[in-house]
């Protein structure tokens, strides 16, 4: 399968992050990488326990050169990760389905990021600041609006972070470069774009009467 | 954080697949699991090379008790996996953003599947049948319509599968069970549902004039 060639903007930071297959889809500039990370709220974190692979979907957010995720202080995943084990952080967006002339060329359009690094348990100060950023990243103004955590809630939460050193992105936004003999056929080809759409907000059925929907919910945009 | 309790339908197949955190979100019945797997076209596969974790997003499809993914015969990932190494297969859907009264309770609604198993390289017969199913799963009728693979294209493609034995799902479709003192405040709570929407098909700019869009594209539904 071949795909329309686009220029590679920067060099991969390490051999492991250099795209081997469809290398022309590789992007190594932080602007592209950060945009892909920030456009999603759920990542997949890979790690190893007793030589076995684990992949856990979890909420993530980014502050400058670090990606963060959080969980219960009792979480099995976080207990392992706080030892500083290697992790593989990935984010994936599915942007469309590609219909090609040749069965061999069918594909999806996507944007993904893969980062390798070591998990790092955040200390209390970094944790509290990072969780405030996480809540405000859901919707700006949400932290000030919401009831702040109790000391017990703070204790129940751990935050892990990973530095974005060894990171690459892969962007497939085109159509396959089909063979001249396929282009000459009477077969249709093209794509069906996919987008994550948001519906109208749904109030909690337990909402007390007369409580107005805050502006940050009314104006909420998942895709900024 | 607590979430409205829903009955667990079946028992987890192994201790590793038993949900420890928020165990009431765990589902172990194959109907729920299969629906989550089939509703997506992109999974994340975790595996270990030299004790380091790797997570690769890739297209997947399911036939009965197996999930399949494919790639280039030269792919580094598939070369490792065809040795029968342990893999962790995951699928995640983000269904909504939860706004709660307490900062500590903010969350997302999601459906996810996590399966542990060993990768298995498909033989030529299983591979050819599986790729036909993959293409028809993109859109029914597409295999018959498209130009069939050449022997060279068949050789360039490998298919890996994994049996769905050790598998669990996690479904969070509700709102957090907030504390009585939070419910009594004048703070708003609710959710913003998210859905993967499809746009109008975009024909390949290289399409020859007069080629009609086939019915399977016109009637295409990403979410069946």
Q: In angstroms, what separates the C-alpha of A210 from chain B's closest C-alpha?
A: 9
pLDDT for B21: 67
pLDDT band at B4 (very low <50, low <70, confident <90, very high): very low
CA distance B179 to A136: 22
Q: Which residue of B has its CA nearest to A2?
A: B72
CA angle at B138 for the pair B133 and B140, rounded to the nearest 5°: 70
Beta bridge partners of A53: A48
Q: Which residue has the tokens 């805050």?
A: A214
User: Are A74 and B146 inside 8 Å of each other by CB?
Assistant: no
Residues 6+ apart with CB under 8 A from A25: A3, A6, A19, A170, A171, A172
CATH classification number, A23-192, choose in 3.20.20.70, 2.30.110.10, 3.60.10.10, 3.30.160.270: 2.30.110.10
Closest listed residue to residue B59, CA positions, set B73, B76, B42, B47: B42
| Interchain CB distance below 8 Å, B106 and A44 | no
CA-nearest residue to A145 within chain B is: B187
pLDDT of B62 above 90: yes
Q: In a 3-state reduction of DSSP, which class is residue B214?
A: coil
Domain boundaries, chain B: 23-198
Q: Closest Cα of chain B to A13: distance in Å?
A: 17
Q: What pLDDT shows up at residue B3?
A: 44
pTM: 0.92
Q: Cα(A92)–Cα(A108) distance, rounded to whole angstroms?
A: 12
Structure tokens at B117: 């198993």
pLDDT at B19: 75
**Interchain proximity B106–A138, CB inside 8 Å:** yes
In this predicted structure, what is the pLDDT of residue A9? 54
The fraction of chain B above a pLDDT of 90, given in percent, is 84
Specify the pLDDT at position B6: 44
pLDDT at position A88 is 98
Kindly report the CA angle at B114 between B130 and B189, in degrees rounded to 5?
125
Give the CATH fold of the B23-198 domain. Answer: Pnp Oxidase; Chain A (2.30.110)
- Closest alpha carbon to A20 in B75, B114, B146: B75
DSSP conformation class of B219: T
Dig out the tokens for B142 from the structure. Answer: 């597409």
CA of A180 to nearest chain B CA: how many angstroms apart?
A: 11
Residues of chain B contacting residue A184, judged by C-beta atoms under 8 Å apart: 208
Which pLDDT belongs to residue A5? 45
Over residues B118-155, the pLDDT tens digits come to 999 999 999 999 999 999 999 999 999 999 999 999 99
Tokens of B174: 């509700």
Which of A155, A163, A73, A154 is closest to A119 using CA atoms?
Answer: A163
Predicted pLDDT of residue A31:
96
Distance from B67 to chain A by nearest Cα, in Å?
16
For B169-185, the pLDDT digits (tens) are 999 999 988 999 999 99
Q: Do B45 and A56 touch (CB under 8 A)?
A: no
DSSP B13: S
The Cα B181–Cα B67 span in angstroms is 46
Does the distance separating the beta carbons of B41 and A46 come in below 8 Å? Answer: no
In which region does residue B24 sit, left (phi positive, over 0), alpha (psi from -120 to 50) or beta (all else)? alpha
Q: Which residue of A114, A183, A193 is in closest CB contact with B202?
A: A193
**CB distance A185–B56 less than 8 Å?**
no
Sign of CA dihedral B160, B163, B168, B171: positive
Cβ atoms A28, A16 nearer than 8 A: no
Chain B positions in Cβ-Cβ contact with residue A222 (cut-off 8 Å): 97, 192, 194
Q: Which of A39, A44, A61, A159 to mutate to test the interface with B (most CBs of B within 10 A)?
A: A44
Per the listing, tokens 């962007």 go with A171
Task: Look at chain B and count its residues.
Answer: 224
Q: Which residues of A touch B20 (CB under 8 A)?
A: 74-76
User: Which chain A residues contact residue B56 at CB under 8 A?
Assistant: 90, 114
pLDDT at B67 over 60: yes
Given this model, what pLDDT does residue A3 score? Answer: 44
How far does A160 lie from chain B, in Å, by closest CA?
16
Model confidence over A3-35: pLDDT tens digits? 444 444 578 888 777 776 677 788 999 999 999
Whether residue B53 contacts residue A48, with contact meaning beta carbons closer than 8 Å, is answered with yes
Nearest chain A Cα distance for residue B191, angstroms: 5
Q: Name the residue of chain A whose CA is nearest to B40's CA.
A: A94
Q: What is the largest CA-CA distance in chain B?
A: 69
Query: Does residue B1 carry a pLDDT above 60?
Result: no
Which of B21, B99, B210 is the best residue to mutate to test the A interface, defined by the most A CB atoms within 10 Å of its own CB?
Answer: B99
Query: Is the separation of the CB atoms in A105 and A176 below 8 Å?
Result: yes
Closest-CA residue to A118 (of B220, B51, B80, B177): B51
- Taking CA–CA distances from A214, the nearest residue in chain B reads B188
Distances (CA, A) of B105 to A139, A142, B3, B102, B178: 14, 12, 9, 5, 8
Instruction: DSSP for B181-207, please give it.
Output: HHHTSS---EEEEEEEEE---EE-TTP
B28: pLDDT strictly greater than 50: yes
Q: Which residues in chain A land under pLDDT 50?
A: 1-8
**What is the phi/psi pair of residue B177, to 5°?**
-80, 95
Cβ-Cβ pairs closer than 8 A, A with B, add up to 294
Q: Which two tokens stand for residue A118?
A: 């070591």
Q: Please give the pLDDT value at position A19.
A: 75
pLDDT of residue B2: 40
- The residue whose two tokens read 């207990």 is A79
Residues of B with Cβ-Cβ distance to A92 under 8 angstroms? 42, 44, 57
In a 3-state reduction of DSSP, which class is residue A156? coil
Half-sphere exposure of A73 (CA within 13 A, CB side): 10
Helix (H, G, I), strand (E, B) or coil at A72: strand
């Amino acid at each position: 399968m071949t795909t329309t060639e686009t220029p590679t903007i920067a060099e991969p930071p390490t051999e492991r992050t250099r795209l081997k297959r469809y290398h022309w889809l590789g992007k190594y500039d932080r602007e592209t990488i950060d945009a892909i990370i920030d456009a999603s709220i759920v990542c997949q974190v890979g790690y190893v326990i007793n030589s076995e692979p684990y992949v856990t979907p979890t909420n993530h957010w980014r502050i400058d050169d670090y990606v963060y995720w959080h969980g219960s202080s009792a979480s099995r995943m976080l207990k392992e990760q706080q030892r500083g084990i290697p992790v593989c952080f990935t984010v994936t967006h599915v942007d469309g389905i590609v219909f090609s002339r040749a069965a061999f060329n069918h594909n999806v359009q996507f944007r993904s990021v893969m980062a390798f690094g070591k998990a790092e348990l955040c200390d209390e100060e970094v944790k509290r600041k990072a969780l405030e950023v996480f809540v405000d990243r859901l919707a700006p103004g949400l932290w000030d609006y919401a009831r702040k955590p109790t000391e017990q809630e703070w204790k129940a939460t751990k935050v892990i972070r990973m530095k974005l050193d060894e990171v690459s992105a892969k962007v497939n936004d085109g159509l396959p470069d089909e063979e001249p003999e396929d282009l000459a056929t009477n077969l249709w080809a093209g794509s069906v774009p996919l987008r994550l759409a948001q519906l109208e907000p749904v109030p909690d059925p337990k909402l007390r009467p007369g409580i107005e929907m805050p502006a940050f919910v009314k104006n909420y945009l998942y895709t900024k």
